[in-house]
């Protein structure tokens, strides 16, 4: 049983070019321009919330993405923080609370965040976390719509009969995801059994990126072994 829940959302510089590319392909994966997360206990009590903009100048925001979220380079330069500092804070919270990570279109957030962990040189804790996607969980509710899945605003409207204001702000969307999740629990649309079942779905992570992670671990172990053998040979 997981005691803590982490609701997360990102606003990004664009969309992935290929979904199965390694994170080392810098231009393939979009960069986070805003990362927000809220941590609740399983009873629905808010523990903490974080909201951060990224000011690193190693990326450009596509016009299409900027039209959606409205975040400009000028805004990031004034209000942003360094990527590695934000990723270190996120990793620290993930390690401290060991939460179930919840998002709407979790696959996109998984890759965007994983790419940013890679760029930052911060160990990526996401691969070892349990995740839950409210978009996948509510697929059947989209049967009477023109879409395969419900967008977050559509799900919010369906559940609460009111429009979701200020969409495409990561903090707003993460908070709305939390509201939808707890409402779905309340209505019996999802339960702990279903949440656990979704964990058995195919991992979002591409096999190449899993290989890279293990390759780094093996390389470090080999280097330690070489150092140990060298040290013994000199004594």
| Confidence tier at 218 by pLDDT (50, 70, 90) | low
The pLDDT of residue 226 is: 79
Query: In this structure, are 86 and 162 located in the same domain?
Result: yes
- pLDDT of 203 reads 56
Check residue 85 and give its pLDDT.
Answer: 98
> Under 8 Å CB-to-CB from 108, ≥6 apart: which residues?
10, 12, 16
* pLDDT of amino acid 147: 80
Report angle CA 17, 70, 153 to the nearest 5 degrees. Answer: 80
Q: Is 22 left (phi over 0), alpha (psi -120 to 50) or beta?
A: beta
Same-domain pairing of 186 and 227: no
Q: Which domain holds residue 219?
A: 207-234
Asked if residue 118 and residue 18 are part of one domain, the reply reads yes
Q: State how beta strands 46-53 and 4-12 pair.
A: unpaired
pLDDT tens-place string over residues 108-154? 999 999 999 999 999 999 988 999 999 999 999 987 677 889 999 99
What pTM was computed for the model? 0.85
Q: Are residues 178 and 227 in the same domain?
A: no
Q: What is the mean pLDDT of residues 180-192?
A: 96
Asked whether residue 198 falls in the same domain as residue 211, the answer is: no
CA distance 148 to 45: 32
Residues 33-68 have pLDDT tens digits of: 999 999 999 999 999 999 999 999 999 999 999 999
Using the CB atoms, write b or e for 34-62: b if 16+ within 10 Å: bbbbbbbeeeeeeeeebebbbbbeebebe
Please indicate, yes or no, whether residues 144 and 219 belong to a single structural domain of this protein. no
pLDDT in the model for residue 207: 45
In this structure, are 40 and 124 located in the same domain?
A: yes
Distance, in Å, from the CA atom of 175 to the CA atom of 156, rounded to the nearest integer, reads 11
Residue 78, pLDDT above cutoff 90: yes
Please compute Rg for the chain using Cα positions: 19
Residues 168 and 185 in one domain: yes
Q: What is the CATH number of the domain that holds 77?
A: 3.30.420.10
Same domain, 87 and 173: yes
Domain count within the chain: 2
Task: Tell me: do 53 and 83 sit in the same domain.
Answer: yes
Q: Are residues 46 and 98 in the same domain?
A: yes
User: Do both 141 and 220 map to the same domain?
Assistant: no
Separation CA 166–CA 172 (nearest Å)? 7
**pLDDT recorded at residue 216:** 52
């Amino acid at each position: 049983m997981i005691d803590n829940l982490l609701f997360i959302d990102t606003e990004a510089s664009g969309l992935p070019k290929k979904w199965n590319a390694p994170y080392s392909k810098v231009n393939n994966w979009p960069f986070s321009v805003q990362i927000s997360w809220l941590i609740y206990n399983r009873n629905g009590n808010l523990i903490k919330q974080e909201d951060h903009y990224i000011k690193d100048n190693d990326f450009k925001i596509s016009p299409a993405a900027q039209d959606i979220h409205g975040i400009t380079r000028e805004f990031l330069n004034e209000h942003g923080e360094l990527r590695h500092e934000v990723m270190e804070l996120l990793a620290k919270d993930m390690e401290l609370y060991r939460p179930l990570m919840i998002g709407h279109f979790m696959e996109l957030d998984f890759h965007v965040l994983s790419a940013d962990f890679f760029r930052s040189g911060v160990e990526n804790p996401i691969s070892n976390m349990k995740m839950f996607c409210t978009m996948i969980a509510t697929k059947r509710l989209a049967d009477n719509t023109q879409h395969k899945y419900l967008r977050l605003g559509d799900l919010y409207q369906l559940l609460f009969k009111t429009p979701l204001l200020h969409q495409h702000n990561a903090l707003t969307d993460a908070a709305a995801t939390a509201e939808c999740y707890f409402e779905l629990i309340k209505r019996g649309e999802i339960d702990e059994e279903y949440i656990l079942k979704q964990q058995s779905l195919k991992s979002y992570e591409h096999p190449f990126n899993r290989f890279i992670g293990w390759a780094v671990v093996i390389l470090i172990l080999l280097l330690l072994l070489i150092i140990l053998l060298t040290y013994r040979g000199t004594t």
